[in-house]
Amino acid sequence: MQNLTHDHINALLPPRPDNSHKMTFGHVLNIAGSIHYRGAAYLSSISALRVGAGYVTLASSPSVCDSVSALTPNVVTLPLLTQMTAKYDNNAPNTDLLATQIQTARWQTIDLQAIDKMAVLQLDDKLNQASVISIGSGLSIGQSTDQLSVNFSRSRNYLDNSSLGNKKHHNSDSDDLSVPNGNSEFFYALLTQLQANPNPVIFDADALNFISRLLHPGNIATTSITLPKHSIITPHPKELSRLLNLDVSEIQAKRVHYTNMAAKQLNAVVVLKGKHTVISDGEQVFINPTGNSALAKAGTGDVLTGMIAGFCAQGVSPIDAACLGVYLHGLAGDIAAEDLSQYGMLASDLLNYIPRAILQVLSV
């Protein structure tokens, strides 16, 4: 077990070669945000750029993409299935009915067919192109009203039934996994799609809650799931308690033990958030000394997810990216609190202090 230090973090910072271009520093695909959590999509996207990623694409519902674009010119957006949303969203909330309508429509309407294909291929291309994928910040666990989830689910149905590729069809009925609604189906489809992805994948917030539901349908642990090879998960204590099916008090009493255990069980880097955040890959364990109560404010976890993704995009290993992200996130909070107080700092303020934290680490 090791405490993170300035020197350690300084040594982990990725190089910035002079002879470089934006793709030298990697591409983050951030699947985030939903109708009530637009801020999370913004915070997790900008923070990836703030730590040096060259390019961030936000994949979300059209309305979230619009909101984020209105706030910042720095994020590229991928509105999922825009045309289908416009055509169908208000008319037919039933996913199966929609899938049928789409199947019918694509033979009747040449434009719609082209648009559908383009939209689905766009997302598939981005999954393959991205150097790192982050998923979950503000991705609502709500029921069928969640626009993004329903859209993605539709896109998978469409993709599976179309001639776009030889995608394996996910038949939820024949699966051990519980797939209780469209959102889980959406996440399961994404998880399946990501199995073969060789690049890091970061799961946060509601993505973790989906994983918990797959692990413990009806609170009975009946199955195991496999995360992509280079996964990082960033639970707060309640989220880890859901993942491990334990009480929060039990997790908090043995933070190092359970972080390590989860890392081994899920074969992932685990970041257990809170004061003295614990980071483990199942072998090494790091404890973070930075941060203060200014960070106990809505949205700071979304900033952390983006920071870790931004370092992964630059080719840093998952465990090192987690250490860099956590330490600099806390340090940015410490510097911000000197200016703004622990009372007054906002998650959006934290974004502006990330460069100062990096400068401080570079100065050792």
Ligand X SMILES: NC(=O)C1=CN([C@@H]2O[C@H](COP(=O)(O)OP(=O)(O)OC[C@H]3O[C@@H](n4cnc5c(N)ncnc54)[C@H](OP(=O)(O)O)[C@@H]3O)[C@@H](O)[C@H]2O)[C@@H](O)CC1
One of 156, 170, 236, 329 touching ligand X (CB under 6 A)? 236
Contacts of 86 (CB under 8 A, 6+ apart): 62
Full DSSP string of 144-169: TT-HHHHHHHHHHHHHHHSSS--PPP
| 138 lines the binding site for ligand ADP (CB under 6 A) | no
| 27 marked among binding-site residues | no
| 136 marked among binding-site residues | no
- Residue 206 burial by Cβ neighbours in a 10 Å radius (0-12, 13-18, 19+): buried
Contacts of 84 (CB under 8 A, 6+ apart): 102, 112, 115, 116, 119, 151, 154
One of 9, 29, 31, 40 touching ligand X (CB under 6 A)? 40
Residues from 295 through 334 that contact ligand X (CB under 6 A): 298-299, 301-302
Q: Residue 104 Cβ, how far from ligand X at the closest point, in Å?
A: 35
Contact partner, 292, from ligand ADP, ligand X, none, Cβ < 5-8 Å per class: ligand ADP
Q: Beta-carbon neighbour count of residue 197 at 10 Å?
A: 17
Largest CA distance in the chain: 65
| 169 marked among binding-site residues | no
| 274 lines the binding site for ligand ADP (CB under 6 A) | yes
Q: Residue 236 Cβ, how far from ligand ADP at the closest point, in Å?
A: 4
Residue 140 and residue 143: Cα distance in Å, rounded?
9
Residue 69 and residue 105: Cα distance in Å, rounded?
31
| 277 lines the binding site for ligand ADP (CB under 6 A) | yes
> CB-wise, 155 or 277, nearer to ligand ADP?
277
Instruction: With beta carbons less than 8 A apart as the criterion, state whether 320 and 311 touch.
Output: yes
Site size toward ligand ADP (CB under 6 A) is: 18
> CB-wise, 293 or 341, nearer to ligand ADP?
293
Residue 192 and residue 156: Cα distance in Å, rounded?
11
160-168, 194-202, 220-228, 292-300 -> range binding ligand ADP (CB under 6 A): 292-300
| 273 lines the binding site for ligand ADP (CB under 6 A) | yes
> CB-wise, 130 or 240, nearer to ligand ADP?
240
Residues interacting with ligand ADP, by CB under 6 A?
205, 236, 273-275, 277, 291-293, 295-296, 298-302, 304, 329
